[in-house]
């Protein structure tokens, strides 16, 4: 099936309502959004801006990976396919470039796209001081000390089994999708996004024996805040943060269902990996 929509194609559009999220105060996404609205004018497509509507049938993000992460939880919650259009350099999860936007949108509204099912994390913060808090994460959950604080100790469990009391600057729990984010910078492994797994990666650990640990998705990760002499915070997908207090317990587990992320027809995951990490610099690829 051709990726490009044809004006001669008599088949009606299947998707009639799109939630459009753009990176704010950035000229390229703003211009691209205007171009998209002009492109869709007269095609009976309803566009909701700046929020994810429960009435929409798909979510389109114009920006970068951070913009997509900002709305991934809502797209997942409503079960909507999510299309990421990158308005800067190629992203790991915003795979569509600006010059590919129109054909990608055509394929979206005519439902001619391929989906990646991306594992999500369900995060619960339990505390004696307040009601439970709940979050969804596509990339990672980071528990870390304050900027000027000393090392912190974080006891962690995998299911009912005690793992270790990690001592250092903090702890990352990441999905395969998030393995190329903070996890990679902290020395964690790269995981193919189709893997249903989590990786626990210590941040600047005190002990050299503290190494990243790969877990199957059926193991919930529990991290206790037993002793908090310094400021300790939790950040979800680099977007949502909250302070953690002594006695808090963070439970991280595989969420039910998957995020429906629309795949680029132009490049596969390994192509994106090579381009982002510079693996092809100075190398001539034999594509024959």
Residues 6+ apart with CB under 8 A from 27: none
Domain 120-255 in CATH: superfamily?
A: Probable inorganic polyphosphate/atp-NAD kinase; domain 2 (2.60.200.30)
| pLDDT attached to residue 286 | 60
Give me the pLDDT at residue 235, please. Answer: 97
- Residue 193 to residue 196: CA distance in whole angstroms: 8
CB distance 1 to 30 below 8 Å: no
Confidence (pLDDT) at 49: 94
pLDDT for the residue numbered 287 = 54
The CATH classification number of 17-113 equals: 3.40.50.10330
Q: Are 141 and 262 in contact (CB under 8 A)?
A: no
111 backbone φψ class: left, alpha, beta (φ>0; ψ -120 to 50): left
Token pair of 242, please? Answer: 């909250």
Q: Write down the domain spans for the chain.
A: 17-113, 120-255
Strand partners, 155: 165
Q: What is the pLDDT of residue 11?
A: 46
At 40 the three-state DSSP class reads helix
C-alpha to C-alpha distances, 12 to 7, 9, 45, 150, 175, nearest whole angstrom: 11, 8, 11, 61, 37
Where in the sequence numbering do the catalytic residues fall? 65
Name the maximum alpha-carbon separation found in the chain: 68
What span, in angstroms and rounded, lies between the C-alpha atoms of 8 and 93? 32
Instruction: Give the model's pLDDT for residue 283.
Output: 58
**Which stretches of the chain drop beneath a pLDDT of 50?**
1-12
pTM of the model: 0.90
Predicted pLDDT of residue 257 = 97
What distance in Å separates the CA atoms of residue 246 and residue 176, rounded to the nearest whole number?
Answer: 30
60-87 confidence digits (pLDDT tens): 999 999 999 999 999 999 999 999 999 9
Q: 121-169, pLDDT tens digit by residue?
A: 999 999 988 899 999 999 999 999 887 778 999 999 999 999 999 999 9
CA-CA distance, 115 to 50, in Å (whole number)? 23
């Amino acid at each position: 099936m051709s990726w490009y929509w044809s004006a001669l194609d008599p088949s009606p559009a299947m998707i009639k309502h799109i939630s459009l999220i753009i990176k704010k105060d950035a000229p390229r996404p703003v211009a691209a959004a205007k171009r998209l609205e002009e492109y869709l004018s007269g095609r009976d497509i309803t566009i909701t801006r700046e929020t994810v509507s429960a009435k929409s049938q798909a979510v389109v993000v114009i920006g970068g990976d951070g913009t997509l992460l900002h709305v991934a939880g809502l797209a997942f919650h409503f079960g909507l396919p999510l299309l990421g259009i990158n308005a800067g350099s190629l992203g790991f999860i915003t795979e569509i470039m600006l010059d590919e936007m129109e054909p990608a949108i055509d394929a979206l509204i005519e439902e001619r796209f391929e989906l990646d099912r991306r594992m999500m994390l369900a995060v619960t913060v339990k505390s004696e001081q307040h009601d439970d808090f709940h979050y969804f994460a596509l990339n990672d959950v980071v528990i870390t000390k304050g900027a000027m604080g000393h090392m912190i100790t974080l006891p962690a469990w995998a299911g009912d089994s005690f793992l270790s009391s990690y001592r250092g600057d903090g702890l990352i729990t990441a999905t395969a999708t998030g393995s190329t984010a903070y996890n990679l910078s902290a020395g964690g492994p790269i995981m193919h996004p189709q893997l249903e797994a989590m990786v626990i990666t210590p941040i600047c650990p005190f002990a050299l024996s503290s190494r990243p640990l790969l877990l199957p998705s059926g193991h919930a990760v529990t991290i206790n805040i037993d002793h908090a002499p310094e400021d300790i915070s939790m950040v979800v997908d680099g977007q949502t943060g909250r302070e953690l207090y002594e006695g808090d317990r963070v439970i991280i587990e595989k969420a039910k269902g998957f995020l429906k992320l629309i795949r680029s027809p132009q490049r596969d995951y390994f192509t994106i990996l090579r381009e982002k990490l510079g693996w092809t610099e100075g190398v001539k690829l034999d594509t024959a």
